[in-house]
């Protein structure tokens, strides 16, 4: 199938913006194609919590009118986009994956405002576990969200609804969040590219922060360039942001289109969590990617990162994040039983403890970043174990859920503490029929190197999306 005869919902961000800008296809046609795909595929996968059909049609019609009137189109002109439940969309309830809020918000969050200003059309909101606590997209209110490659398995989380919407061809791009791997983990499970940006790269407004130093916002996409294009729209700060990142040397899209320099790449399959062994398939994916990078002309060596223990920096911020968001909901009694247990277990996390955890995180970051004295990029698995079957959160409380989460966050969460950019890059399909992935971690403030290198890997080892049969 050529690009010219591809289904509109399968086209890239870049190609959709080009076609609609050049009036080869209308914004209304693009949105209708995505709405048709959602109606066809989402009942079996449960990616969306809300589909904004009429609003999206009206927004698309407005995009067509402004283009016909001669206005300059934005870089995301007419691109349908899905938004994770934790991000404000005007007229929608910000549910955080639960049912404790009932009042729609009046205004878009700053990221959504920027997306619309760039021409994107918001088509719906996507499912997540309550408050994004777990790397499995399951909740009492929303049920199971299913992996489009094998619907009996989890798509990961917490941005699992977004990942499924993109991987299943319902939208070309979706926005997620990453407080411990929540962009990278579902990207790995669903065969997408997912970059966690440098801390402070993307505004968190109207919130000052997302779980203090842990949380970031960003896209999940089917290509590296698509991610870069969206990041160029949403990156940058407001006066209220607690964390900030310096401007990159080039735009992200420019970086994604550029050939990387010869890089010193260190690889390691050792887990940052002691005693946790990665699945053989993930070890082999790292080895295969290391060989690919060698063949591409990079200097590739095995390294021992000497990971510091990030527990005392991560856990207080996790509890504080859940407690802060729980305190802000309209109906605390409607929170899930497990969430209320998490709230109680975190009662010891007072403001002074959070400040202590932030200082501890700075020390962890200094130790973890020593690996970059010898290499430019670190290559690891993205997740330790293969994606589990759905129903992971059916039994037990907070402690059991945390234990089940460890293999999913093992390689990812450290880099939320340090703030480094890190990306999950597809690495083929395992014998179990589910995607494989590797993680690339960059120096502080160096997303551009990760984008260039990831795009080079994509060109040398193209990845595919699942083939879904009509129900």
How many CB atoms lie under 10 A from the CB of residue 464?
Answer: 11
Dump pLDDT digits (tens) for 386-420: 999 999 999 999 999 999 999 999 999 999 999 99
Q: What is the mean pLDDT of residues 55-63?
A: 98
Q: What is the mean pLDDT of residues 423-444?
A: 98
Q: Chain-wide mean pLDDT for the chain?
A: 96
Dump pLDDT digits (tens) for 288-307: 999 999 999 999 999 999 99
Report whether pLDDT(255) > 70: yes
Vertex 313, ends 308 and 318: CA angle to 5°? 130
Q: What is the mean pLDDT of residues 339-355?
A: 96
pLDDT at 144: 98
- Tokens matching residue 65: 């009118």
- Among 158, 268, 452, 454, which one carries the catalytic annotation? 158
Dump pLDDT digits (tens) for 149-198: 999 999 999 999 999 999 999 999 999 999 999 999 999 999 999 999 99
Q: At 52, is the secondary structure helix, strand, or coil?
A: coil
84 is catalytic: yes
Q: Which of 291, 449, 437, 438 is nearest to 377 (CA)?
A: 449
- Among 12, 182, 213, 223, which one carries the catalytic annotation? 182
Report whether pLDDT(470) > 50: no
**Percent helix / strand / coil, the chain, rounded to 5:** 40, 15, 45
Residues 6+ apart with CB under 8 A from 54: none
pLDDT at 119: 98
Thinking of the domain 3-460, which architecture would CATH place it in? Alpha-Beta Complex (3.90)
What pTM was estimated for this model as a whole?
A: 0.97
Dump pLDDT digits (tens) for 89-124: 999 999 999 999 999 999 999 999 999 999 999 999
Q: What is the mean pLDDT of residues 226-238?
A: 97
Report whether pLDDT(3) > 60: no
Residue 4 pLDDT class (50, 70, 90 cuts): low
Q: With beta carbons less than 8 A apart as the criterion, state whether 267 and 425 touch.
A: no
Residues 6+ apart with CB under 8 A from 150: 432, 433, 434
454 is catalytic: no
Q: What is the mean pLDDT of residues 267-296?
A: 97
Structural domain boundaries in the chain: 3-460
pLDDT at 456: 98
- Among 84, 125, 150, 196, which one carries the catalytic annotation? 84
CA distance 187 to 227: 12
Q: What is the mean pLDDT of residues 438-446?
A: 98
Mean pLDDT lowest among 69-73, 427-431, 467-471: 467-471
326 is catalytic: no
Q: What are the backbone dihedrals phi and psi of residue 219, each rounded to the nearest 5 degrees, phi first?
A: -90, 155
- Tokens matching residue 46: 């449960």
Q: Which of 27, 19, 24 is nearest to 61 (CA)?
A: 27
């Amino acid at each position: 199938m050529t690009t010219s005869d591809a289904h509109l919902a399968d086209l890239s961000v870049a190609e959709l913006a080009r076609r609609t800008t050049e009036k080869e296809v209308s914004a209304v046609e693009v949105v209708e194609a995505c709405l048709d795909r959602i109606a066809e595929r989402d009942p079996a996968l449960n990616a969306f919590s809300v589909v904004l059909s009429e609003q999206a049609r009206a927004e698309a019609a407005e995009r067509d009118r402004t283009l016909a009137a001669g206005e300059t189109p934005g870089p995301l002109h007419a691109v349908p986009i899905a938004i994770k439940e934790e991000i404000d969309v005007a007229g929608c309830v910000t549910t955080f994956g639960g049912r404790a809020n009932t009042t729609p918000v009046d205004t878009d969050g700053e990221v959504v405002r920027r997306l619309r200003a760039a021409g994107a059309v918001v088509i719906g909101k996507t499912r997540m576990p309550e408050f994004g606590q777990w790397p499995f997209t399951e909740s009492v209110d929303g049920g199971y969200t299913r992996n489009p490659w094998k619907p009996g398995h989890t798509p990961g989380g917490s941005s699992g609804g977004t990942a499924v919407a993109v991987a299943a061809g319902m939208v070309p791009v979706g926005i997620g969040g990453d407080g411990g791997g929540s962009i990278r983990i579902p990207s790995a499970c669903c065969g997408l590219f997912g970059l966690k940006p440098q801390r402070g790269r993307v505004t968190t407004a109207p919130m000052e922060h997302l779980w203090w130093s842990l949380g970031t916002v960003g896209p999940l996409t089917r290509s590296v360039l698509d991610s870069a294009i969206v990041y160029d729209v949403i990156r940058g700060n407001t006066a209220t942001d607690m964390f900030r990142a310096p401007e990159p040397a080039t735009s992200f899209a420019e970086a994604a289109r550029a050939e990387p320099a010869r890089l010193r790449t260190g690889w390691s399959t050792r887990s940052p969590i002691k005693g946790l062994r990665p699945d053989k398939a993930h070890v082999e994916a790292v080895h295969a990617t290391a060989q690919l990078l060698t063949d591409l002309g990079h200097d590739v060596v095995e390294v021992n990162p000497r990971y510091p223990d990030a527990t005392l920096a991560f856990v207080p911020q996790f509890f504080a994040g859940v407690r802060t968001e729980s305190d802000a909901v309209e109906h605390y009694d409607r929170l899930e039983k497990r969430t209320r247990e998490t709230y109680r277990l975190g009662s010891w996390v007072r403001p002074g403890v959070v400040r202590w955890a932030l200082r501890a995180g700075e020390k962890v970051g200094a130790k973890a970043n020593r690996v970059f004295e010898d290499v430019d990029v670190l290559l690891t698995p993205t997740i330790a174990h293969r994606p589990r079957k759905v129903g992971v959160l059916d039994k037990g409380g907070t402690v059991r859920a945390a234990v089940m989460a460890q293999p999913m966050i093992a390689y990812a969460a450290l880099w939320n503490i340090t703030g480094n950019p890190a990306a999950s890059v597809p690495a083929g399909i395992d014998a179990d029929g589910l995607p494989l992935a590797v993680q690339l971690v960059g120096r502080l403030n160096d997303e551009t190197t990760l984008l260039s290198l990831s795009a080079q890997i994509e060109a040398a080892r193209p990845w595919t999306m699942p083939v879904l049969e009509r129900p």
